[in-house]
Amino acid sequence: MSESYAHLKGKRVVLGVSGSIAAYKAADICSQLVKWEVDVHVVMTSEATKIIAPITLQTMSRNSVSTDMWEVEEKWEPGHIDLADSAELLLIAPATAHTLAKFAHGLAPDLLSNIYLATLAPVMIAPAMNGKMLDHPVTQQNIATLKQRGHSFIEPDIGMLACGYEGKGKLASVEIICQAVSEHFKS
């Protein structure tokens, strides 16, 4: 491990993966953080599991991947509360417009949004979506609401989007996301 990333060793990050086509990049984010000896625990929405298999992220994180709020665990406490309590950072990458809306309005229909509501950890969000969806006033209001709550945002890139349009909405690079995590734990 590089000396400049020693401050990350053993830090517990819950990586939330929502159903953007960019969900496949979560494997690279996870891999880089694990190389820096971050303890990564992945939580996926059901939509994300249609894009990337949980086994991929389980292998990369070296931890089980949580996808279902109703999974029966061997211990007595609900798994989502354990993850929410133990997180030192909740990183959502990628975050869809739907996920942003759930967070902004306190809706909790899935495991990831339950963890969001239950954690006291800092929240870092990397949006990825169609540029028109990103620019929509409702999405912009949801982002403003989340920023007012003190959540940090990793701005999406400009480029060719999965929908075929060129514009802003592409998930920030793995390097930028991982560096943001590193900077968070330095401060």
43 — phi, psi (to 5°)?
Answer: -125, 125
Bridge-based pairing of strands 89-95 and 12-17 is parallel
Whether the CB-CB separation of 98 and 113 falls below 8 Å is answered with: no
For residue 168, how far is the Cα from the chain centroid? 19
- Single out the catalytic residue among 62, 163, 165, 183: 163
Longest CA–CA separation in the chain, Å: 49
Rounded to whole angstroms, how far apart are CA atoms 38 and 182?
Answer: 10
Query: Which residues are bridge partners to 65 per DSSP?
Result: none
163 among known catalytic residues: yes
Active site residues: 163
